[in-house]
Amino acid sequence: MTFRQLQSFLAVVRAKSFRRAAEKLALSQPALSQQIKELERELDARVFDRLGRAIALTQAGRLLEEYAQRIVSMVQGLREAMGQLRGLERGVLRLGASTTPGIYLLPGLLARFKTRHPKTEVSLHIGNTREIEERVRAAEVDLGIVGGHVSDAKETCVEARLLDRIVLIIPRQHPWAARRAVSGERLREECLLVREEGSATRRVIDTALDRAGISPGSRLELGHTEAIKQGVLAGLGVAFVSEYAIRSELAARRLRTVRVQGIAIQRHFHVIRYEGRVLSPLERAFLDFFGAETQSRRPRR
């Protein structure tokens, strides 16, 4: 049984004539009759009674009409939906993001993306970089936005990137607040507040400090950037965080940044995907939008 046969059957039902249906379908009447015969052969039932020049549906024909209408309607709906998807009128975009881009960068960006594509659905899962990379490889999210270095797993590939600077933050009443820079040795006097293992921010900071031969006096591990910022505000210590994470605190002058001599920490936010998947039109549109928006809205120093 073919979709074409079902369409031909319904055309005969509506036209109540093989001849008129054949004309509408641009088929010869023998070709249309052959399609109906093949359909009847597969169903092992006669679907039309031929009453001279008139035709009438048999009981089997009435049952087939009911199902054929549903099938044709569903296929037409699918075609329309696929066309809308190609035109970005509909579609679902599943994003995963590590903590910093997921909380401080993506919400505003997604709001603007939804304004351009209001009928699309977007979901965002936030976790640390390790978790998001695993979700990308498991095809649980379409695209992942993560910080630091992407794992070397061959299943993932980078589609876009955005530069991020990591800065040292202190409370505004801190003794270093009047300075533009401090030596790395001065970090021995402070407790350094850090993210958990598996965080790309933690990894890139540890790497930079090790390369510079800088060892903080002590460390306190906190599982979230917001907890780290609150810890700094409360006087628990100092911390290296993404400049994207402190825009509001800097604007309100609740926190200050200070440069550490001999060290500059930078990393990229990478947009990654599972290499075996072909980008959908919606995913490609998001990548283009991400690149344009993030370059035009970088934090100003």
**pTM, rounded to two decimals:** 0.67
Residue-level pLDDT at 139:
86
Partners of residue 166 on adjacent β-strands: 242, 265
Residue-level pLDDT at 130:
87
Q: Which of 117, 85, 113, 65 is nearest to 280 (CA)?
A: 85
CB within 8 Å of 219: residues ≥ 6 apart: 191, 192, 193, 194
Residue-level pLDDT at 152:
62
Give the CATH H-level superfamily of domain 92-162+268-296: Periplasmic binding protein-like II (3.40.190.10)
How far apart (Å, rounded) are the C-alpha atoms in residues 62 and 300?
71
How far apart (Å, rounded) are the C-alpha atoms in residues 127 and 144?
10
pLDDT tens across 78-109, in order?
Answer: 887 777 677 777 788 999 999 899 999 999 99
163-266 CATH choice from 3.90.1150.10, 3.40.190.10, 3.30.420.10, 2.40.10.10: 3.40.190.10
Least confident range from 50-59, 156-165, 174-183, 288-297: namely 288-297
Q: What are the residue boundaries of the structural domains of the chain, listed by start?
A: 3-84, 92-162+268-296, 163-266
Q: Which of 152, 103, 129 is nearest to 198 (CA)?
A: 129
Please name the amino acid found at residue 229: K
Q: Which of 233, 125, 235 is nearest to 190 (CA)?
A: 235
CB within 8 Å of 188: residues ≥ 6 apart: 215, 216, 217
Residue-level pLDDT at 298:
54
Whether residue 301 is predicted with pLDDT greater than 60 in this model: the reply is no
Query: 3-84 maps to which CATH number?
Result: 1.10.10.10
Instruction: Band the pLDDT of 154: cuts 50, 70, 90.
Output: low
Cβ atoms of 43 and 64 within 8 Å: the answer is: yes
Cβ atoms of 281 and 85 within 8 Å: the answer is: yes
- More confident of the two residues 236 and 152: 236
Topology alike, domains 3-84 and 92-162+268-296 = no
pLDDT mean across residues, the chain: 88
Q: Angle 29-43/18-25 helices, nearest 10 degrees?
A: 110
- Work out the percent of the chain whose per-residue pLDDT is above 90: 53
pLDDT tens across 260-289, in order?
Answer: 998 999 988 889 988 877 788 889 899 999
Cβ atoms of 184 and 216 within 8 Å: the answer is: no
Cα distances (angstroms) measured from residue 243 to each of 100, 256, 272, 273: 10, 11, 22, 25
Instruction: Band the pLDDT of 151: cuts 50, 70, 90.
Output: low
pLDDT tens across 26-73, in order?
Answer: 989 999 999 999 999 999 999 998 887 788 999 999 999 999 999 988
